Each structure stands twice: as C-alpha cells, then as structure tokens.
Structure 1
Amino acid sequence: MILLIFWGTVLLVITIRVYIKLRPPAFLKKGGKGKIDFKSYSNKLEVKLANCEIKTNKYTEEVSRPLSRISMLDGLYQGERNLTLIEKTVTVFIYTHTKPDGSKVKFYSPPIYKDESVIERYLYEDVSVIIYIEDSANYYFDISFLI
C-alpha cells in the first residue's frame, strides 16, 4: 500500500513538471471562441472595408432530406428525389498592405457565408475592420461584426 502511494506521488510530480515545461507561453493561450489572442501582443491595422478587394463565389450544394421509410422507397426508384439543391454564397475580403520598404502583403479574411446583400450593406455603411498582425504569415482578420 505504501509503495502504491509512493509511486502515485512520483507519477504526479513528473506529470506536473512535464506540464509546466511543455505548456504554451501566456501570449499563445487561446482567447474567446478558439482564436489565438493576437490582440494583446500584435500590431493593429484598421482598414475600411471599402479598401478591401471582395471575392465572391456562388455555388449549389446538394442536401439530402431527412429519411423516412417512404422516402427511402422513393430513393430506390429515383435517387435524386431525396436531394434538394441549396444556393450558397461565400465571400472573402482581401486587403493589400504596402510596407514602408515598398513591398506588398495580402491579408485574407476567413470565408464569410453570408448573402451578398448583407456584405453590400456593410460596404454602404463604411465599416472598418481590424487586422491584428504578428508577421505576414500570422495574422487575425477580425470580422466578428459579421457573426
């Protein structure tokens, strides 16, 4: 029994030491909604949405209806009967930033699955977005106002 308590304590101490050694630094801890918290240590760049290039893609997606016994039998006769086509739109904002040395860097927003009319409304309202930049490869394009 004493041997079991001893080895359990040793294992606990080793686990704690390994955790302390391998845990990420405080600035890499995840912030709200699973995004890395760049806001606390990165450069902040405020950009008007009208200055961004907007790329939009429309596509249709096949979605199957919930299956019932009758719909399964209908599907044997005509397979596409249980499918509905839904039109979707995905938009991406692209901002091209010119550095002081004259080189250009492009920053891409995450995909936005909103209707074009919603995006146009924000363009009409002259909304600003914030890009938190650590370097050209690590940045966070803050579009939380769209969510």
Structure 2
Amino acid sequence: MLRRILACILFGLGLLIVTFFRKYSGQVIPYPFLFYLAGLAMFMIAALLLRNVPTRIQLTLQKQIADLKENGNKIRVDFSQCEIKENNYTEEQDKFETPNELFSFGYGQEIQVLDAFTKPSHNVEQIQINQSIIFFNYQNNQTGQEEIFVSRVINKDRVTLMFHLEQQKSTTLFVDKINRKKYYFDLAFLNN
C-alpha cells in the first residue's frame, strides 16, 4: 500500500514538473531542461513501482492460500496416481504489440496498418500455446465418496510437465475443512 502511495505521489509530481517545464521560457530557473528530465524520471519510476505492485485480487488470493495452508486438511498427492490432460493450440499474436499503450508510439501503429494492407502476415506470428492440468482422484475416508481435484492451468506441455512431476514425486493438496470445493495444489516447484 505504501509503495502504491509513493508511486502516485511520484506520478503526480512528475506530471506537474513535466507539464510546467515543457514550454518554460523564464529566466528565474537557469536549467529548465534538467527539471524536465527529473520530472520524466519521476514519472518513469512511478510507472515501474506501479507495475510491480500486487493487485487486491492477488493479495486476497495469497491470504486465502495462506489460510488453507494453515487451517486446511493436508492430503499427500502422489503424482504417479494423477492423470494429466493437455490442450495445445496455436494463436496469432501481433509481433510489434506493446504491452502498455502508454509506452507505444503513434507512428509504429501507422506502420503496422500500412504493412497489414501490403503483407497481412508480416505483423503477426504463430505462437504455440501449451496448457496442461492435473486430475487427482481422492477417496474420502470420512464420507466414503470419491472426490476429484483439478489443478490450475499449467503453461507446460504434457511431456515437460510429466518430467517435472516425476522428479518431484509428490506434493501437498490443501483442502478447506468446511467447503471441499476450496483447495490449493502446491505446485510452487514448477516455477523454478
């Protein structure tokens, strides 16, 4: 929260300084260009700070995961007893797309439009998307029913995922004691 406040203050100051010194022609301040650059630097630092700040949804999710780890039932998941399903497809993506419109320049977009008329395939590229999920069937001893737990979508193909799971052998599944539909597969080892 403090980081977000600092970023907003830097953003505001940077914007004010850049706006003021953009067309400054007075004699009181000897080097207005340096102030202009300092304002731009503040603006860029604020953008970087805001980019790395977790959102409220991410913070809520982290709290829920911590609560499940602390208070939930812990079930050992043997990966040899799991089923892996995959969904692989290709997707067209813009080659020159900028992730943030704030940092894109107008002439780049105009060039892309002109290229699209002459060579439609020049602006796009085919990207292979690999997605897999893990299915775990669990026999609940308390109710006698079989439960199916599904992992989050993992951005790996089936073979790569099987290799990682074979190395890890097992993990822990944290399940809420009251609502069995709230659970968390501990797959943090896949991020390494």
Q: TM-score, normalised by structure 1?
A: 0.70
- Which runs of 4 or more aligned residues in structure 1 lie more than 4 Å from their structure 2 counterparts after TM superposition? 30-33
1:140 corresponds to 2:184:
yes
Instruction: Tell me how large the CA RMSD over aligned residues is.
Output: 2.3
| Whole-angstrom CA distance in 2 between matches of 1:35 and 1:113 | 24
| Higher RCO (CA-CA < 8 Å; seq separation 6+) | 1
Instruction: Look up the equivalent residue of 2:93 and give its one-letter code.
Output: V
Aligned length: 118
| Whole-angstrom CA distance in 2 between matches of 1:31 and 1:73 | 43
Q: Where does residue 58 of structure 1 map in the other structure?
A: 88
Structure-2 change in CA distance of 1:110 and 1:57 (3 Å)? same
Pick aligned residue for 1:47 from 77, 95, 120: 77
More strand by share: 1
Deviations 1:90-135 (CA, angstroms, capped at 9, x unpaired): 0100101111243111111000002444312123325211100113
Stretches of structure 1 that go unaligned for 5 or more consecutive residues are 1-29
Structure-2 change in CA distance of 1:110 and 1:65 (3 Å)? same
Q: TM-score, normalised by structure 2?
A: 0.55
| Whole-angstrom CA distance in 1 between matches of 2:113 and 2:87 | 33
1:118 corresponds to 2:172:
no
More helix by share: 2
Sequence identity (%) = 28
Stretches of structure 2 that go unaligned for 5 or more consecutive residues are 1-57, 98-107
